[in-house]
Amino acid sequence: EADIYQTPRYLVIGTGKKITLECSQTMGHDKMYWYQQDPGMELHLIHYSYGVNSTEKGDLSSESTVSRIRTEHFPLTLESARPSHTSQYLCASSDPGRAVGYTFGSGTRLTVV
């Protein structure tokens, strides 16, 4: 069982609402990531963090923002949700003791109506 937790699992919300997707990990990993996954499309990196107070944008332009105040917590926020934000959001972390690979959470499936 993955030690990375995402809440909520499913969210349906109206246009214009502010939302925060939560991601927490108990493994003490410094590096954490947010990916966006749409059906039939490759995973796209939208944000990453290499440690506390470190955040960077990924290769996919996103209107979301992230913060990293604590090692274990990496929330993603949308200030004003739009239907174009409808997607699955996956949070991941990487173990410095392992050559490659992420541990992914189960994802948040967001629908903006």
Binding residues for other proteins (CB under 8 A): 2, 4, 9, 31, 40-43, 45, 50, 59, 90, 92, 94-96, 98-107
Q: How many residues does the chain have?
A: 113
Query: Residue 21 Cβ, how far from other proteins at the closest point, in Å?
Result: 13
Residue 1 or 14: which CB sits closer to other proteins?
1
Residue 9 or 80: which CB sits closer to other proteins?
9
Whether residue 6 contacts residue 76, with contact meaning beta carbons closer than 8 Å, is answered with: no
Residue 67 or 104: which CB sits closer to other proteins?
104
Query: Residue 15 Cβ, how far from other proteins at the closest point, in Å?
Result: 25
- Lookup: tokens for 51: 């440690």
